[in-house]
Amino acid sequence: MAQSRPIKMVVVGDGMVGKTCLLVAFTTGAFPGNDYEPTVFDNYAGSLLVDGVTANLTLWDTAGQEDYEKLRPLSYPGSDVFLLCYSISSQASYNNILTKWQPELKHHCPSTPYVLVATKADLRQEDSAEELVTRASGKKLASKIKAYSYIECSAKTGERVREVFEEAARAVLQPKSSRKKKLACAFELDEDYKIDSDYAFSLEEDDDDAEASWFRQAVTSPRTGILAAFESSRDSSTCSVTSSGMSVSVPDTDIPLPRTSR
């Protein structure tokens, strides 16, 4: 018999980005008709099986308009996860994720995870004069705000709607550790930094949630006593060292490498 877990999900974001449509599409399997009216506050329920666990969902819709600034946070206590939504057709709603919505959630629920959701993905398939927020921009924002994951979906077509809620449930059932983790890393030293013997070391990653990261670690050559440093991308098992000018190059940065006393 599968385990079960109640999960409270709260959907936030600017008005008219499609939050209610997303909830209706998930709970009913249909897109709201032309008589649809945006919701101020409403609750829905649903369930799904995620990695062997039955997630019993209570879904809280919220109003993004400024008129409800004081009422909206009343729905936040006890939340297990947030769906942080913007529309790909609204640059303003995208910008407000960073300037308004993430700060609001961090203020009221600093330890609660959230999934970044880009709505109205069906517009990418249409010949539209609108300038849409790119996927790359969405992924970059997700990394910046440390979202559990990033998903583009369409309530109109049903594209990836279920996946939104599966990922939100996983954020609760399988939270990413905020603790530093050790990563094994091989490295290559150039001629100035050759060492006489092999030795092992580990690499600390400060940000588990980042989509891509670079790392650096100082090492001292047993032979020369010179302090070197290495860098690595998240997906690379090799760390390279640059000694020219006693600096190592990393994205947009030059890190000085001081010498140690011999």
Indicate the domain borders of the chain: 3-173, 181-256
Question: Which whole number is the average pLDDT over 42-61?
Answer: 95
Residue 171: pLDDT over 80:
yes
Residue 213: pLDDT over 70:
no
Backbone angles phi, psi at 185, to 5 degrees: -155, 125
Domain 3-173 has CATH 3.40.50.300: yes
Question: Which whole number is the average pLDDT over 217-246?
Answer: 43
Per-residue confidence (pLDDT) for residue 195, from 0 to 100: 35
Residue 77: pLDDT over 50:
yes
Query: What is the chain's length?
Result: 262
Which residues, 6+ apart, have CB-to-CB distance to 90 below 8 Å? 14, 16, 17, 133
Per-residue confidence (pLDDT) for residue 129, from 0 to 100: 56
In our burial notation (b when 16+ CB lie closer than 10 A, e otherwise), range 126-137 reads eeeeeebbeeee
Per-residue confidence (pLDDT) for residue 150, from 0 to 100: 98
